Chains A and B, each alone.
Chain A
C-alpha cells in the first residue's frame, strides 16, 4: 500500500516503505509517467554508517496528494540516472551527487550546483575541473558576465557562446550566494530558524516563512487558528503583488518605456508599505511564527486599506494598459525568449514561468492549505511562453491578488492569532508547499528519535526555473538577454541556499 499525505502534513518514517534502489527508481519513473512529478528528492544520513536514505516526495496535482518514497543507499553504489528519461530529475540528481557523493551514472551533464573550488578561484570564477561548455568555429565568440553585475543584483555568472548577435548557448553558473543555510538551520534555535527561513530569499520572506512554519506545525500536529491563516494568506498575496508589480516595472525599464517603469516602481513601494504597516517591516519579516502570526490587520484601518487597495488596482489597470497598448513595448515582449510548453513540463518548471508556458500548476489550487482551502484564487494560464506571456501572467495574477485581498479584508476579524505548538513528534517527515510569487516552494523537515529536527530540505522555485532562462535565450539575440532575465527574475540566494 503506497502511503499518501497532503500538503502541510507529517508522516511517520515507518509508514514509508523502504524500497530497494531498483524499486525506488522504477516506482519514481512509473509515478511520474502517470501524472505525478518530483516535488523534492534528497538524501539524509542513515543510522547505519556508510548509508544514506534517499527520500523523494512526488506530487499528484490533480488528486492533491503527495507520495513519499524512500530507499537506503550505500555509499559508492552506482545509481543509473533518471534524467535521460525524466529530465525534471536533473537538478535533484546533481544535488545528490554534489552533497552526498551519490554515484549518479549516465547523467548527461553532471556538474556542481553550488560548490566552488575555493583554492582555484583566485584568478577568476572558473573551476578547472568543470570547464564551461564551448562552441568552436569561425565567428563564434564567448561572452562572460558576472558574478558582479552592472545593476544592484545578486551575483551569478553567465557564459554565452555567440555567433554574431545570436546566442548559441548559455551556461549559468551559480553558487556565489551559498551561505550554508540548510546546515545553519539545523543547529539554530527555533527563533533563529524562523529568521533563517525568512532569509532564504529576502524577496520571498513570507513564502519561505510560511513553509517553515507549516513544517513545524505539522511536526507538532498543531493546527493554526483561522485568523492566522487568513493573515498569512493576505501577507503572501501582498508579497506576490509587490514583486509582480516591481517586475512589470523592471520589464518596462528594460524596453526603455520609462513612464510605466517609474509608476510601477512607486506602486511596488506602496504595497511594501502596507506590509510595513502590518508587520513593522517592508518585507513582512517577523510576521509569521510557528503556530500563527505575531500581528494582524488593525480593524480600525480597514476602510483606509480597502480604499488604498482600490487605488492600487485602478493605478495598476491604467499603467498596464499603457504597456499593452504601446507598440514599441509589445514588439520587444512578443516572441522573445520563448519557453515551449513541452520543455516547461518536462523540466518541471513552476510558478509564473510554467503558467506562462501553458503548464497549469499552482500550489494554491493543486495543494491548497491555510486560507486557500476556503478562498480560491483563479489560476492564470497563458500558452505563448514568451516575455509577453510572463508579463501578462504577472499582471493578471496581481489583479487576482488584489481581489483576494479585498474579499478577505471585507469581513476579516483578527481574533485568535496563534496557538502554542504541541510537542514535536519523533521520527516523522513533514512536507509543506507554498505558492510563492516565483512558484512552488517546498520545505521538508525530518525529526529524530527525540522529536529534534535531524534534516531540513528547502526547494526554492528558482532551483528548478534557472534552466528556463538558458532555454529562453537560445537562438535569440544577446541584446534580449536582460529582458529575458528580468521576465523570469529568479532568485540567486534561494537557489544557492
Chain B
C-alpha cells in the first residue's frame, strides 16, 4: 500500500491543463495543410502527382483532408512551398465539403442545434465500430480516455453496448465483411444518433478506396455528423472536433 502511494506521489497529475483547441503540438507534427495557390507555377502538378491517395488537384489547387493521409510527400514535392503542413490540429469538420481546402478560410464546424446540445452537450456516450480499421484510429480513440486526454472529464465516454450509446464512431474503410455488422450496430443505437467518421479510411476509403473488398468508407445511407481526418487522427483532433460540435469550445 505504501508503495502504491509512493508511486501515486511520483506520478502526480498528468491530465492536460491547456484547452484542447489551443494546445501546441511538436513542430514535426503534420496537422492542417496550408495552401498558397498564388505560389503555384503555371502547369505545375508536382503535388498532385506525388499524392498517394489522389487527395490533391493542381489547378486550381485543392486538397481534400478526407482523403489525405498526412504523409507529407506533397510538401516535399512542391518546388515553391505552395503546400506546407502546419502543426494545427483543428481539422475536424461537420461537412464533407469543409474538408476540401483551397487556401480560403471556411467555417469548419457547425455546432449542434439547441435540442441536440441539451441532449448530448454534457454527457455523450459513444459506441465504437471498427470496420476494417488497421488499429491506428482505434488506438488513438482508446487514448482519448487515458489520464492525459481524459475525455470523461468532458462527459465523453465509450460504452459497451449500442443500446447505451448516443452515437457511433466508425473507423476503417468498412470492409465488406463488416458491412452487415456496422449496419446492425447503427440500427441498434437510439435516435437521434450522432455519427462520427474517424480517419481517412472511414471518410473516403483512404488507401483502400480502390479495393473491391471495402465499401470505400462509411456507406452514404449512414449520415455522418462529424468528420475527423487523419491517419490516424491525433486524440486531440478528435476531442477538439467533438467538443466544438457540442458547443463546448
Task: Across the interface, name the chain B residue whose C-beta is closest to A280.
Answer: B28
Evaluate contact between A189 and B176: CB separation under 8 angstroms. no
User: Which residues, 39 to 80 on B, are CB-close (under 8 Å) to A?
Assistant: 50, 52-53, 69-73
C-alpha spacing A103/B211, complex, angstroms: 27
Task: Across the interface, name the chain B residue whose C-beta is closest to A180.
Answer: B213
A484 to chain B, nearest CB (A): 19
Evaluate contact between B30 and A184: CB separation under 8 angstroms. no
Evaluate contact between B175 and A184: CB separation under 8 angstroms. no
Evaluate contact between B52 and A177: CB separation under 8 angstroms. no
Given known A-B contacts A177-B132, A201-B135, A259-B8, A155 and B178 have beta carbons under 8 A apart: yes
Evaluate contact between B134 and A199: CB separation under 8 angstroms. yes
Query: Does B114 interact with chain A (Cβ within 8 Å)?
Result: no
User: Which residues, 24 to 42 on A, are CB-close (under 8 Å) to B?
Assistant: none
User: Which residues, 272 to 326 on A, are CB-close (under 8 Å) to B?
Assistant: 272-273, 276-283, 285-286, 294-295, 315, 318-319, 321-322, 325
Query: Does A87 interact with chain B (Cβ within 8 Å)?
Result: no
Residue from A147, A153, A279 in contact with B178 in the complex, judged by beta carbons closer than 8 Å: A147
Digitize B69-103: 1 where CB-to-A-CB distance is under 8 Å, 0 elsewhere. Answer: 11111000000000001000000000000000000
Indicate the member of A154, A203, A276 with the most B CB atoms within 10 Å: A154
C-alpha spacing A196/B147, complex, angstroms: 32
Evaluate contact between A125 and B158: CB separation under 8 angstroms. no
Evaluate contact between A176 and B135: CB separation under 8 angstroms. no
C-alpha spacing A265/B146, complex, angstroms: 6
Q: In the complex, which residues of chain A have a beta carbon less than 8 angstroms from the beta carbon of B11?
A: 262-263, 266, 315
Evaluate contact between A176 and B160: CB separation under 8 angstroms. no
Residue from B129, B172, B206, B210 in contact with A148 in the complex, judged by beta carbons closer than 8 Å: B129
User: Which residues, 73 to 90 on A, are CB-close (under 8 Å) to B?
Assistant: none
C-alpha spacing A295/B69, complex, angstroms: 18
B18 to chain A, nearest CB (A): 15
Given known A-B contacts A148-B129, A151-B158, A200-B134, A269 and B148 have beta carbons under 8 A apart: yes
User: Which residues, 193 to 237 on B, are CB-close (under 8 Å) to A?
Assistant: 206-208, 210-214, 231-232, 234
C-alpha spacing A388/B214, complex, angstroms: 39
Evaluate contact between A180 and B28: CB separation under 8 angstroms. no
Indicate the member of A200, A201, A286 with the most B CB atoms within 10 Å: A286
Q: In the complex, which residues of chain A have a beta carbon less than 8 angstroms from the beta carbon of B50?
A: 191
Residue from B129, B140, B206 in contact with A282 in the complex, judged by beta carbons closer than 8 Å: B140
Residue from A203, A273, A295 in contact with B139 in the complex, judged by beta carbons closer than 8 Å: A203
C-alpha spacing A178/B138, complex, angstroms: 16
Q: In the complex, which residues of chain A have a beta carbon less than 8 angstroms from the beta carbon of B26?
A: 273, 276-277
User: Which residues, 160 to 218 on A, are CB-close (under 8 Å) to B?
Assistant: 175-181, 183-184, 187-189, 191-192, 194-196, 199-203, 205
Query: Does A121 interact with chain B (Cβ within 8 Å)?
Result: yes
Evaluate contact between B207 and A196: CB separation under 8 angstroms. yes
Query: Does A492 interact with chain B (Cβ within 8 Å)?
Result: yes
How many A-B contacts are there with CB distance less than 8 Å? 193
Evaluate contact between B176 and A118: CB separation under 8 angstroms. yes
Task: Across the interface, name the chain B residue whose C-beta is closest to A208.
Answer: B134
Residue from A152, A187, A315, A493 in contact with B134 in the complex, judged by beta carbons closer than 8 Å: A493
Query: Does A14 interact with chain B (Cβ within 8 Å)?
Result: no
A147 to chain B, nearest CB (A): 5
Evaluate contact between B7 and A179: CB separation under 8 angstroms. no
Query: Could you tell me how many residues of chain A have their Cβ less than 8 Å away from some Cβ of chain B?
Result: 68
Q: In the complex, which residues of chain B have a beta carbon less than 8 angstroms from the beta carbon of A295?
A: 28
Indicate the member of B3, B6, B135, B138 with the most A CB atoms within 10 Å: B135
C-alpha spacing A361/B213, complex, angstroms: 35
Q: In the complex, which residues of chain B have a beta carbon less than 8 angstroms from the beta carbon of A278?
A: 28
C-alpha spacing A121/B180, complex, angstroms: 7
Query: Does B181 interact with chain A (Cβ within 8 Å)?
Result: yes
Given known A-B contacts A151-B160, A178-B177, A183-B211, A192 and B143 have beta carbons under 8 A apart: no
Given known A-B contacts A195-B69, A269-B148, A155 and B131 have beta carbons under 8 A apart: yes
B4 to chain A, nearest CB (A): 6
Q: In the complex, which residues of chain A have a beta carbon less than 8 angstroms from the beta carbon of B121?
A: none
Task: Across the interface, name the chain B residue whose C-beta is closest to A193.
Answer: B52
Q: In the complex, which residues of chain B have a beta carbon less than 8 angstroms from the beta carbon of A122?
A: 180
C-alpha spacing A276/B31, complex, angstroms: 12
Residue from B70, B142, B176, B207 in contact with A281 in the complex, judged by beta carbons closer than 8 Å: B70
Residue from A175, A188, A203, A259 in contact with B7 in the complex, judged by beta carbons closer than 8 Å: A259
Q: In the complex, which residues of chain B have a beta carbon less than 8 angstroms from the beta carbon of A273?
A: 26
C-alpha spacing A362/B177, complex, angstroms: 34
Query: Does A150 interact with chain B (Cβ within 8 Å)?
Result: yes
C-alpha spacing A318/B3, complex, angstroms: 9
Evaluate contact between B158 and A191: CB separation under 8 angstroms. no
C-alpha spacing A187/B212, complex, angstroms: 13
Given known A-B contacts A155-B130, A179-B175, A203 and B181 have beta carbons under 8 A apart: no
C-alpha spacing A278/B27, complex, angstroms: 10
User: Which residues, 208 to 233 on A, are CB-close (under 8 Å) to B?
Assistant: none
Given known A-B contacts A150-B160, A184-B211, A116 and B177 have beta carbons under 8 A apart: yes
Query: Does A491 interact with chain B (Cβ within 8 Å)?
Result: yes
C-alpha spacing A116/B25, complex, angstroms: 42
Evaluate contact between B133 and A276: CB separation under 8 angstroms. no
Query: Does B136 interact with chain A (Cβ within 8 Å)?
Result: yes
CB-CB nearest 7 A-B residue pairs: A202-B136, A202-B134, A180-B213, A150-B160, A192-B52, A280-B28, A265-B146
Can you identify 25 A-B contacts, CB atoms within 8 angstroms?
Answer: A118-B177, A151-B158, A151-B160, A152-B158, A154-B138, A155-B181, A178-B175, A179-B173, A180-B213, A191-B52, A192-B52, A195-B53, A195-B71, A199-B134, A199-B208, A200-B134, A203-B135, A259-B8, A272-B143, A276-B26, A281-B30, A283-B139, A285-B231, A315-B11, A492-B135
- Footprint of B on A, CB under 8 Å? 114, 116, 118, 121-122, 125, 147-148, 150-155, 175-181, 183-184, 187-189, 191-192, 194-196, 199-203, 205, 259, 262-263, 265-266, 268-269, 272-273, 276-283, 285-286, 294-295, 315, 318-319, 321-322, 325, 491-493, 496
